[in-house]
Structure 1
């Protein structure tokens, strides 16, 4: 079972949504999370047409960020608090420099 299937089984499906960021093609999607009594309520939105390896990588990243949110809260990953009390985290593709 891959990350997207695990997320869907947990009730958090990836939803394609045009979030109006055409000027930022490096954004793959956004996570929204809200603390509730028994854990978190989450939504995951992805850029329309995100497929293949990019979608798989985004689902794996989203799954790991939601797990860290459950374990450590919003601070480690830089979640931004929204005016409605939920937390938001944008997923951006970035090429990191080599450690060599």
Structure 2
């Protein structure tokens, strides 16, 4: 993440469970809490701003249905494609989402 040179200090009180989440992000990203909070804001704020009323549970359920249907169709058409699809999807997750 890019170092911010023009910054403002803000103070926020968080319950213990949210502090733990910030610390988890800090560990995963190998950074301090401030940087972890910047990661969290960069990831979450645009989503919240652009998708004000998105039901995340419904969205993820729909994605899971699509995945299951895609794998079922692939296994019916050519069972060898299933493993290739899973490997390609896993590689994409690592490249673009991890």
Q: TM-score, normalising length from structure 2?
A: 0.29
> If you compute each CA radius of gyration, which structure gives the higher value, 1 or 2?
2
- Higher strand share goes to which structure? 1
For normalisation by structure 1, the TM-score amounts to 0.29
Structure with more of its chain in helix, by fraction:
2
